[in-house]
């Protein structure tokens, strides 16, 4: 959106993090994390609750001082010069932080003024945000009366009102329905196409698939990085076997009991509608044992095939292997 | 695909309708849930999922139509229904200042579970929800995922045959969600009928059948596989050198039904694979966009859902 720096490696990266660490007393929330985010990318930052996602974002925004390590944001050391970089950053926090008792346009005006927009520019940017968020005609509605999807788009509009080069979105779609979520992602693609870098956290693995690059964080450590495809191709510990038994419920019961009795030492058995997914290292090795368990319960295993893991499978597998 | 061996209907609604002033929250719903299945209710905000669950829980009466649960009418026999169901509302209220144990005891009091039965059941539920080691912790101090599991355990204190869960995993991280669903699968294997609403499409894939609600109506109801197959045409995954430009060009190509973005890739909905691949390759080549990879993929429930809703919206505005 605004000018970009033209010299050196700063041109390539919107964020460069080196050994970034944050301690709260004796608790280490972020533990020597290093990663880079290319300019113009949609970067997904995934991890369970309490893994250090929000703390990392707060350090990158210059709101929280790192205990150790370095964070270069848009070419500036945020630790030394937070006030220099902050005007170029946008931030949409978990609960959207809109004022419920203000109208749509009042919320936008408030955020615009906070970022120092005035007069003509403020008016133009508010118009832009209303159009982008598809909120034309709802300017005078109170924010509390908007549904989740509208509020979300309004919050995004507020976060990019001042034309930031880098936007942080912390769980922007929690509790928003799939159709609104899709519309929201279409908006993110539009913004990204204009050269804005987007840093987003989410619990939705289907959304993670929308990101160009991902990093998984767990207990303050980065445990996997790369494009969704790369992560799926290389980070899965074990394989996924899919069965289509004639009676999935009965089959599920028999397999779970066998696992609990130690007869089927696989990592995971999960029911997906009419299919059963079994995760294990070298899963084909277990085919004989699986067939035997199902035969004993008079269930026909149906087709058995090794399938590609979903991103969620990989995520859970990475975290479980960390926890072991 | 059959759901279990039996196909006994345990919940049935007949032209069920609920109005709130001028809003029709549930609009002529005809729904059957089979005994022992996991039935997923999915749909956008305001589609009527929560109202449907409340009507089925006999918490409110319909404006029109009727619903029966295990043979009991929701208006005439609400008490019989309440004995048989467990209902976990979206904002299920645990007592945050009470411990895990105390919460379970409180719900046991409410449902009249006492003595030795209560003791055994609480132990079993704690093990089942993997909360035994946290029994003395205050509910307010549990993680989001653990609070949901405690909520579920409290809902199960009277051993209901039917369980209603209203977005039980919203805001919960993927690891805790997976664990929650493992617990639901255990209940399912034990024969409990589960009706669960969810905004997560990957969770919809775990249900025996799903119902898509839109503006108070059930617009699709079938197994996840059958719903996936209901996407018109086929899906081709393309990895173009310039995603945004490729998307805009393909969206404006007449025989292409829909283009959805996935990171660096596009999912393109066409009638037929071979001609579709050829069309995409030629169209992009003409625009000097390179195709790094192209292949057919199976549509997911999420894509099916968005496609079905978008067609609804288009038909409504036409």
Domain boundaries, given as residue ranges, for chain B: 9-228, 232-298
C-alpha–C-alpha distance, residues A56 and B184, integer Å: 34
Q: Are residues A101 and A47 part of one domain?
A: yes
pLDDT at A206: 78
Q: Are residues A23 and A127 part of one domain?
A: yes
- In angstroms, the separation between the Cα of residue A178 and the nearest Cα of chain B is 6
CATH number at residue A82: 3.40.50.300
- A29 belongs to a structural domain: yes
Instruction: For A207, name the nearest residue in chain B, comparing CA atoms only.
Output: B262
C-alpha–C-alpha distance, residues A175 and A154, integer Å: 15
Q: Are residues A294 and A220 part of one domain?
A: no
- Contact list in B for residue A49 (CB cut-off 8 A) is 143-145, 172-173, 176
C-beta separation of A276 from A264 below 8 A? no
- In angstroms, the separation between the Cα of residue A213 and the nearest Cα of chain B is 8
* Average pLDDT of the segment spanning B223-241: 88
CATH superfamily of the B9-228 domain: P-loop containing nucleotide triphosphate hydrolases (3.40.50.300)
- In angstroms, the separation between the Cα of residue A24 and the nearest Cα of chain B is 18
pLDDT band at B166 (very low <50, low <70, confident <90, very high): very high
CATH 3.40.190.10 fits B232-298, yes or no: no
Count other Cβ atoms within 10 Å, centred on residue A126: 22
Instruction: For A310, name the nearest residue in chain B, comparing CA atoms only.
Output: B202
| B207/A273 Cβ within 8 A | yes
pLDDT at A27: 92
Put simply, whether B34 touches A (Cβ < 8 Å) is: no
Q: Are residues A156 and A291 part of one domain?
A: no
| B45/A249 Cβ within 8 A | no
C-beta separation of B284 from B291 below 8 A? yes
pLDDT at B184: 93
Selected residues 185-244 of chain B with any CB under 8 Å from a CB in chain A: 185-186, 188-189, 199-202, 205-209, 223-225, 243-244
What stretches of chain B adopt beta strand conformation (E)? 9-20, 23-34, 38-42, 64-69, 72-73, 85-88, 162-166, 193-197, 209-214, 217-222, 234-240, 258-262, 265-270, 291-297
- A3 belongs to a structural domain: no
Pairing mode, strands A68-73 and A221-226: unpaired
Roughly how many angstroms between the first and final C-alpha of chain B, as a whole number? 36
- Contact list in A for residue B189 (CB cut-off 8 A) is 249, 252-253, 256
How many H-runs (helices) and E-runs (strands) does chain B carry? 11, 14
Q: A193: domain range?
A: 11-233
Instruction: For A319, name the nearest residue in chain B, comparing CA atoms only.
Output: B175
pLDDT tens-digit readout, A125-168: 999 999 988 888 999 999 988 887 888 889 999 999 999 999 99
pLDDT at B257: 86
pLDDT at B90: 87
Put simply, whether B48 touches A (Cβ < 8 Å) is: no
Q: Are residues A263 and A246 part of one domain?
A: yes
Instruction: For A247, name the nearest residue in chain B, comparing CA atoms only.
Output: B4
C-alpha–C-alpha distance, residues A202 and A216, integer Å: 11
Q: Are residues A223 and A259 part of one domain?
A: no
* Average pLDDT of the segment spanning B41-70: 93
Q: Are residues A268 and A125 part of one domain?
A: no
C-beta separation of B270 from B255 below 8 A? yes
User: Where do we find the tokens 């397999």?
Assistant: A255
Selected residues 102-161 of chain A with any CB under 8 Å from a CB in chain B: 147-149
The upper half-sphere exposure of residue B144, i.e. CA atoms within 13 Å in the direction of its Cβ, equals 16
Selected residues 14-73 of chain A with any CB under 8 Å from a CB in chain B: 42, 46-50
- Contact list in B for residue A177 (CB cut-off 8 A) is 43-45, 47, 199
Between these two residues, A21 and A150, which has the higher pLDDT value? A21
- Contact list in A for residue B225 (CB cut-off 8 A) is 273-274
Q: Are residues A292 and A147 part of one domain?
A: no
pLDDT at A96: 66
Q: Are residues A301 and A226 part of one domain?
A: no
C-alpha separations of B98 from B101, B106, B124 in Å: 8, 9, 20
The DSSP H or E segment spanning A36 is: strand A27-38
The answer, yes or no, to whether residue A211 has pLDDT greater than 80, is yes
- A178 belongs to a structural domain: yes
Put simply, whether A274 touches B (Cβ < 8 Å) is: yes
The answer, yes or no, to whether residue B4 has pLDDT greater than 50, is no
Domain count, chain A: 2
Q: Are residues A39 and A156 part of one domain?
A: yes
Instruction: Give the relative orientation of helices A248-260 and B174-189 as an angle to the nearest 10 degrees.
Output: 110
Q: Are residues A261 and A228 part of one domain?
A: no
- Contact list in B for residue A186 (CB cut-off 8 A) is 261
% of chain B beyond a pLDDT of 90: 63
| B174/A176 Cβ within 8 A | no
The DSSP H or E segment spanning B125 is: helix B115-128
Burial track A224-262 (b if 16+ CB lie within 10 A, e otherwise): bbeebbebbeebbbbbbbbbbbbbbbbbbbbbbebbeee
Q: Are residues A216 and A90 part of one domain?
A: yes
pLDDT at A177: 76
- In angstroms, the separation between the Cα of residue A48 and the nearest Cα of chain B is 5
| A211/B174 Cβ within 8 A | no
pTM: 0.83
* Average pLDDT of the segment spanning B259-285: 90
- A76 belongs to a structural domain: yes
pLDDT band at A175 (very low <50, low <70, confident <90, very high): low
- Where a domain ends, among A191, A207, A233? A233
What contacts B35, CB < 8 A, 6 or more positions away? B4, B6, B8, B9, B10, B191, B193
Average pLDDT, chain B: 90
pLDDT tens-digit readout, A75-129: 999 999 989 999 999 999 876 678 889 999 999 999 999 888 999 999 999 999 9
Between these two residues, B11 and B262, which has the higher pLDDT value? B11
**Sign of the four-CA dihedral B98, B103, B106, B107:** positive
**B58 phi, psi to nearest 5 deg:** 60, 30
- In angstroms, the separation between the Cα of residue A44 and the nearest Cα of chain B is 10
pLDDT tens-digit readout, B79-96: 999 999 999 998 877 899
């Amino acid at each position: 959106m605004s000018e970009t720096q033209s010299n050196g490696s700063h041109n390539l990266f919107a964020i460069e993090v080196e050994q970034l660490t944050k301690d709260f007393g004796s608790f280490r929330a972020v533990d020597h994390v290093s990663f880079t985010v290319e300019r113009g990318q949609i970067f997904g930052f995934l991890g369970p609750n309490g893994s250090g996602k929000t703390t990392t974002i707060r350090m990158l925004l210059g709101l929280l001082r790192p205990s150790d390590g370095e964070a270069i944001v848009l070419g500036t050391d945020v630790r030394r010069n937070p006030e220099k970089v902050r005007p170029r950053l946008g931030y949409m926090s978990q609960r959207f932080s809109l004022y419920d008792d203000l109208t749509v346009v009042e919320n936008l005006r408030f955020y615009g003024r906070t970022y120092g927009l005035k007069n003509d520019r403020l008016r133009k940017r508010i118009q832009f945000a209303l159009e982008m968020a598809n909120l034309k005609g709802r300017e005078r509605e109170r924010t509390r009366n908007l549904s989740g999807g509208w509020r979300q788009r309004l919050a995004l509009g507020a976060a990019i009102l001042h034309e930031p080069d880098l936007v942080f979105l912390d769980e922007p779609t929690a509790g928003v329905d799939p159709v609104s979520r899709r519309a929201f992602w279409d908006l993110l693609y539009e913004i990204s196409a204009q050269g804005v870098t987007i840093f987003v956290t989410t619990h939705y693995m289907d959304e993670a698939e929308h990101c160009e690059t991902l990093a998984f964080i767990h207990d303050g450590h980065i445990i996997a990085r790369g494009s969704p495809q790369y992560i799926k191709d290389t980070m899965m510990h074990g394989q996924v076997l899919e069965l289509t038994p004639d009676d999935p419920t009965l089959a599920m019961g028999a397999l779970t009991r066998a696992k609990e009795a130690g007869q089927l030492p696989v990592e995971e058995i999960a029911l997906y509608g009419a299919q059963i997914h079994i995760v294990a290292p070298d899963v084909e090795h277990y085919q004989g044992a699986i067939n035997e368990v199902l035969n004993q319960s008079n269930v026909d295993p149906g087709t058995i095939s090794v399938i590609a893991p979903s991103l969620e499978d990989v995520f859970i597998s990475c975290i479980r292997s960390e926890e072991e | 695909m059959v759901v279990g061996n039996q196909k006994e209907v345990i919940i049935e609604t007949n032209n069920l309708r609920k109005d709130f002033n001028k809003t029709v929250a549930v609009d002529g719903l005809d729904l059957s849930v089979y005994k022992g299945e996991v039935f997923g209710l999915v749909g956008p905000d305001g589609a009527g999922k929560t109202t449907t669950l409340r009507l089925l829980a006999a918490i409110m009466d319909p404006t029109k139509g009727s619903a029966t649960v295990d043979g009991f009418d929701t208006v005439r026999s609400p008490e019989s229904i309440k004995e048989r169901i467990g209902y976990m509302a979206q904002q299920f209220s645990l007592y945050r200042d009470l411990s895990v144990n105390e919460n379970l005891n409180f719900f046991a009091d409410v449902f009249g579970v006492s003595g030795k039965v209560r003791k055994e059941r609480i132990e079993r539920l704690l093990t089942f929800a993997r909360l035994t080691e946290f029994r003395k912790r205050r509910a307010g101090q549990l993680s989001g995922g653990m609070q949901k599991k405690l909520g579920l355990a409290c809902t199960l204190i009277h051993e209901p045959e039917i369980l209603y869960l209203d977005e039980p995993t919203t805001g919960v991280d993927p690891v805790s969600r997976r664990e929650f669903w493992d617990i639901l699968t255990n209940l399912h294997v034990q024969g409990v009928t589960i009706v669960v609403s969810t905004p997560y499409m990957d969770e919809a894939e775990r249900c025996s059948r799903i119902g898509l609600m839109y503006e108070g109506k059930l617009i699709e109801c079938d197994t996840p596989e059958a719903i996936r197959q209901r996407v018109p045409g086929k899906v081709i995954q393309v990895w173009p050198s310039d995603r945004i430009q490729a998307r805009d060009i393909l969206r404006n190509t007449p025989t292409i039904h829909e283009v959805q973005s996935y990171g660096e890739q596009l999912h393109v909905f066409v009638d037929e694979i071979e001609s579709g691949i050829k069309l995409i390759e030629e169209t992009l080549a003409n625009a000097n966009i390179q195709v790094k990879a192209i292949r057919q993929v199976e549509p997911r429930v999420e894509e099916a859902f968005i496609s079905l809703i978008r067609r609804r919206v288009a038909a409504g505005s036409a």
